[in-house]
């Protein structure tokens, strides 16, 4: 959960427990490391007596390292800290409670240490199965559906040709880069052609032959090769001849502990080298391996060289401290079997209680349905309460399925721990196995540093417990399985529930929990969805253009491409992407998630009216239309004034002529040439045009009025909305009481009617305030902007824009005696009556 959600939950928890909160302390720093300033200030304030307890969401929010966890336990031992409270964890200040708290702190540390190891295990498994576990290289793409690598032909074809050209030996790397640039393959950062280092990596990569190199090892991939092995080998020969060739390290330089240890003083890597030693008395020469700091960061205080034998002894002692006997392994396996059996019994009992809750929930659903059928409750209340009960039932069923699983997920972690501890005993007894010691050291620990010929390290949990107690011989046999089993079960049980709870909290707060739609971005700081400064204006403009009904999805894609708005490959948006954002209610403030709708708090891109227009256009576009033979711009605008028939058009001697269709009988109206019609329409548009200066002054005045109205209404709206929220709580509580048979049908109906009437009155007040403060401003602004635009429309050669503007400002267009007349819409009729703002001296600049 986010910090804000945790604080909100803790406030409710403190109110339930009657706790007095002195202060809320938040720290956006990992609890894995020591030295957190806010945590240290918390300890000092408790030592001074400012508070006697700590309230936290979970123990892992306080500490994930042994030092900070030890401070908390020490404060409990001395009595300076009297109590800890957690909504998700039980604790009391007793020896048993402090022991459980130490287990929780250990579990938190194990989670952090084990997470990295689990990620590496997953990556290694994907590589072994032949699937590349990272981002696909050039020429391929990651397929989300199959979770594999597929060939991307627009890049694959030029790459094949590039390999063929380079294998001839006639082309340099710069020539290959220029060729790929001409084929549209550019550097994703600079936009220029690929540099030599990028091209070398491509030409040296066996991935294109069907093999993968991961951490120095080669694996057979399941992806489709782009080139043959013979062509790849030819390219390597050419590359070697051109003087850039990495030789593979010889086996005699494969040192066991390089890449594992770093210098404690300067944090540089530790390297190794062979040094011969001559014995004068026996005239014998011996070859020894010495480790020392690379000193690549400058001067270093590390003293001299360290023989490999010295490091081997230290690593062997460390591995030996983790070894276990065969008897101990058998005892651990017995504990595992017993714990699994006892867990199954406990899960069975929990499953029965969940079954009871599911049955009660189903009864409530039946009662709710009966009440709806008997018209005791309305459809809105029924749907809302039904969704809550169905969600509760789904959560209970999901928990029940997890409990009835035959193979719990935490068994694997415990089995791996037992197997690894058993291997430690064999490796510690063997000789001349430095590479095995190094491999085991990577599994059980990290942060290996060399300081004055001594190795310092940090072991993973629970191996550190084995080492601290001298191995399994002196370590209490029951503690390790209890810790390992408990943390594994705790992790599996809580992870899914915490994720779902976090998503529900986000949706209820109006925050989108997934990847932001196109036109928006996920802000990592506020953890909300914010407008994309680069794409916002293009998406908004595209939505508004489509709502006017002038475009299909294909033409909208071409239009946006002309604005330089492309996909990540530099091409026009495909039709599925266009359709997705045209049908997404997110843009007018509604979040659609898992089939349900939530009110969002993000910035709106369009209004609900614009969205409805888009859906209407989509609906109309879904029907087949007859294709026009000729595109006459003013068809559908006018009717004949004499007979009322429609006006049609035709081409004569290269000119457009408009005339009456005469479908209603005889008509004496003659033809009107398009140029004459355009000039009349332009003259009409000029009557409602205003200057840019006056438009600016009026808009500034409107903005001031809008700000004043908003400040006055904000306080009143806040109070009214608070009252509505309280009424909603009362209605929900009343319905719950009815379902529990606490109140009768008559009492429920009477009280609910009163609450609904009161809520309706409050909503009416809110609606009146919103209309009075803003509804007159938007039309006024739109009117001023359209009048400002009229100057441009009157001179434009785009007759489609002229047609749209006239439909907006006028109505009842009639053609009579080669003259067009129409009635102006309000408030354009006031400007037109004064013969246009440009002719009135009061509107002049």
User: Which among 227, 421, 205, 203 has a CA at the least distance from the CA of 324?
Assistant: 421
Q: Are 820 and 681 in contact (CB under 8 A)?
A: yes
pLDDT tens string 473-519:
434 444 444 444 444 544 555 566 667 777 877 887 888 888 889 99
Phi, psi of 816 (to 5 degrees): -145, 125
pLDDT tens string 660-685:
988 888 888 888 888 888 888 888 88
pLDDT tens string 756-811:
778 777 877 777 776 555 445 667 777 888 887 888 888 888 888 888 888 888 88
Q: Which two tokens stand for residue 309?
A: 């034998």
> Does domain 520-621 correspond to CATH entry 3.90.1750.20?
yes
Question: What would you report as the CA-atom Rg of the chain, rounded to the nearest whole angstrom?
Answer: 38
The answer to whether residue 750 scores a pLDDT higher than 80 is no
The answer to whether residue 182 scores a pLDDT higher than 70 is yes
The answer to whether residue 826 scores a pLDDT higher than 60 is yes
pLDDT for position 737: 78
pLDDT tens string 189-227:
788 888 888 888 888 888 998 888 887 778 888 888 999
Residue in the structure block whose two tokens are 């209610």: 585
Q: What share of the chain is helix, strand, coil (3-state, %, to 5)?
A: 55, 15, 30
Q: Are 290 and 305 in contact (CB under 8 A)?
A: yes
pLDDT for position 489: 46
Continuous segment of H or E residues that includes residue 287:
strand 284-293
Q: Round to whole Å and give the CA distance between 575 and 591.
A: 22
Q: Which of 250-254, 325-329, 344-348, 793-797 has the highest mean pLDDT?
A: 793-797
Hey, do 141-246 and 520-621 end up sharing a CATH topology, with the first three levels equal? yes
Confidence grade of residue 268 (pLDDT, cut at 50, 70, 90): very high
Q: Are 542 and 580 in contact (CB under 8 A)?
A: no
Indicate the angle between helix axes 745-770 and 692-739, nearest 10 degrees: 170
- What's the number of CA atoms in the CB half-sphere (13 Å) around residue 334? 8
Q: Are 146 and 235 in contact (CB under 8 A)?
A: no
Q: Which CATH architecture has domain 3-127?
A: 3-Layer(aba) Sandwich (3.40)
pLDDT tens string 87-122:
877 777 787 777 777 777 777 777 777 777 778 888
Domain map (residue ranges) of the chain: 3-127, 141-246, 253-509, 520-621, 639-689+783-843, 710-773
Residue in the structure block whose two tokens are 């028939």: 645
Task: Name 443's Cβ contacts closer than 8 Å, sequence gap at least 6.
Answer: 117, 420
Least confident of 139-143, 299-303, 640-644, 695-699: 695-699
Q: Are 293 and 265 in contact (CB under 8 A)?
A: yes
Range list of H helices, 374-462? 379-403, 410-429, 434-444
Q: Is 403 helix (H, G, I), strand (E, B) or coil?
A: helix
Q: Round to whole Å and give the CA distance between 802 and 11.
A: 60
Please tell me the CATH code under which domain 141-246 is placed. 3.90.1750.20
Range list of H helices, 144-187? 153-167, 173-182
Least confident of 30-39, 246-255, 392-401, 410-419: 246-255
The answer to whether residue 561 scores a pLDDT higher than 60 is yes
Confidence grade of residue 336 (pLDDT, cut at 50, 70, 90): confident
The answer to whether residue 249 scores a pLDDT higher than 70 is no
pLDDT tens string 629-652:
667 888 888 899 888 898 888 888
Please give the mean pLDDT across all residues of the chain. Answer: 80
The answer to whether residue 11 scores a pLDDT higher than 80 is yes
Q: Round to whole Å and give the CA distance between 490 and 484.
A: 10
End-to-end CA distance of the chain: 59
pLDDT for position 844: 36
pLDDT tens string 57-79:
788 788 878 788 888 888 888 88
Q: Round to whole Å and give the CA distance between 22 and 458.
A: 37
């Amino acid at each position: 959960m986010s910090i804000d959600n945790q604080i909100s939950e803790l406030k409710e928890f403190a109110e339930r427990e009657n706790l007095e909160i002195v202060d809320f302390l938040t720290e956006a720093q990992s609890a894995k490391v020591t030295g957190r300033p806010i945590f240290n200030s918390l300890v000092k304030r408790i030592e001074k007596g400012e508070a006697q307890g700590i309230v936290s969401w979970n123990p892992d929010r306080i500490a994930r390292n042994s030092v900070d966890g030890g401070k908390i336990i020490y404060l409990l031992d001395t009595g300076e800290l009297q109590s800890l409270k957690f909504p998700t964890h039980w604790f009391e200040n007793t020896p048993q409670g402090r022991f459980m708290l130490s287990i929780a702190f250990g579990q938190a540390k194990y989670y952090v240490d084990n997470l990295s190891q689990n990620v590496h295990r997953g990556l290694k498994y994907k590589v072994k199965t032949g699937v590349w576990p990272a981002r696909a290289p050039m020429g391929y793409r990651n397929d989300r559906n199959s979770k594999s690598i597929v060939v991307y032909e627009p890049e694959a074809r030029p790459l094949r040709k590039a390999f063929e050209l380079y294998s001839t030996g006639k082309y340099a790397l710069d020539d290959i880069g220029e060729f790929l640039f001409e084929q549209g393959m550019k550097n994703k950062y600079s936009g220029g052609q690929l540099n030599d280092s990028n091209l070398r990596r491509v030409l040296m990569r066996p991935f294109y032959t069907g093999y993968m190199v991961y951490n120095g090892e080669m694996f057979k991939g399941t992806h489709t090769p782009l080139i043959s092995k013979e062509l790849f080998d030819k390219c390597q020969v050419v590359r070697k001849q051109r003087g850039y060739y990495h030789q593979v390290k010889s086996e005699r330089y494969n040192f066991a502990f390089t890449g594992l240890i770093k210098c404690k003083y300067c944090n540089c890597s530790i390297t190794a080298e062979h040094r011969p030693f001559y014995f004068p008395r026996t005239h014998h020469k011996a070859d020894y391996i010495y480790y020392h700091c690379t000193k690549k960061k400058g001067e270093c205080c590390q003293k001299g060289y360290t023989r490999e034998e010295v490091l081997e002894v230290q690593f062997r002692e460390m591995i030996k401290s983790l070894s276990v006997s065969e008897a101990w392994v058998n005892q651990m396996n017995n504990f595992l079997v017993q714990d699994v059996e006892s867990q199954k019994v406990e899960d069975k009992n929990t499953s029965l209680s969940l079954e009871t809750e599911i049955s009660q929930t189903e009864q409530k659903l039946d009662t709710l349905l009966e009440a709806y059928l008997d018209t005791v409750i309305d459809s809105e209340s029924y749907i809302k309460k039904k969704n809550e009960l169905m969600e509760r039932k789904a959560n209970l069923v999901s928990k029940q399925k997890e409990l009835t699983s035959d193979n719990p997920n935490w068994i694997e972690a415990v089995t791996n721990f037992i197997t690894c501890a058993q291997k430690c005993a064999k490796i510690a007894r063997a000789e001349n196995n430095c590479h095995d010691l190094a491999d085991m050291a990577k599994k059980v620990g990290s942060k290996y540093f060399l300081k004055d010929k001594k190795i310092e390290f940090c072991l993973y949990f629970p191996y550190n417990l084995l080492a601290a107690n001298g191995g399994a011989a002196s370590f209490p046999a029951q503690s390790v399985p209890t810790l390992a089993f408990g943390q594994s079960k705790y992790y599996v049980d809580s992870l899914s529930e915490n994720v779902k709870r976090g998503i529900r909290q986000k949706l209820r707060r109006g925050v989108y929990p997934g990847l932001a739609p196109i036109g928006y971005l996920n802000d990592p700081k506020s953890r909300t969805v914010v407008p994309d400064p680069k794409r916002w204006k293009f998406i908004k403009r595209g939505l508004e253009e489509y709502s006017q009904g002038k475009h299909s999805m294909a033409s909208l894609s071409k239009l946006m491409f002309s604005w330089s708005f492309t996909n990540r490959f530099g091409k026009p948006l495909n039709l599925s992407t266009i359709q997705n954002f045209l049908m997404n209610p997110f843009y007018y403030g509604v979040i659609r998630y898992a089939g349900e709708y939530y009110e969002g708090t993000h910035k709106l891109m369009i209004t609900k009216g614009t969205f409805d227009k888009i859906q209407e256009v989509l609906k109309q576009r879904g029907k087949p239309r007859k294709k026009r033979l000729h595109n006459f711009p003013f068809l559908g605008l006018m009717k004949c004034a004499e007979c009322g028939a429609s006006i049609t058009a035709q081409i004569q001697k290269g000119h457009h002529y408009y005339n009456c269709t005469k479908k209603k009988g005889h008509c004496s109206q003659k033809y009107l040439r398009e140029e004459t019609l355009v000039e009349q329409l332009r003259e009409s548009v000029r009557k409602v045009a205003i200057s840019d200066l006056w438009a600016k002054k009026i808009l500034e005045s409107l903005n001031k009025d809008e700000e004043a109205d908003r400040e006055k209404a904000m306080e009143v709206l806040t109070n009214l909305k608070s009252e509505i929220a309280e009424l909603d709580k009362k209605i929900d509580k009343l319905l719950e009481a009815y379902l529990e048979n606490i109140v009768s049908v008559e009492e429920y109906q009477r009280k609910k009617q009163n609450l609904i009437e009161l809520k309706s009155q409050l909503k009416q007040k809110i609606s009146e305030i919103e209309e009075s403060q803003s509804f007159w401003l938007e039309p006024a602004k739109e009117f001023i902007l359209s009048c400002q635009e009229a100057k441009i429309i009157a001179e434009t050669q785009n007759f489609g824009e002229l047609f749209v503007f006239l439909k907006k400002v006028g109505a009842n267009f009639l053609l009579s005696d080669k003259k067009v007349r129409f009635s102006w819409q309000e408030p354009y009729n006031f400007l037109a009556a004064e013969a246009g703002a440009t002719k009135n001296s009061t509107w002049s600049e």
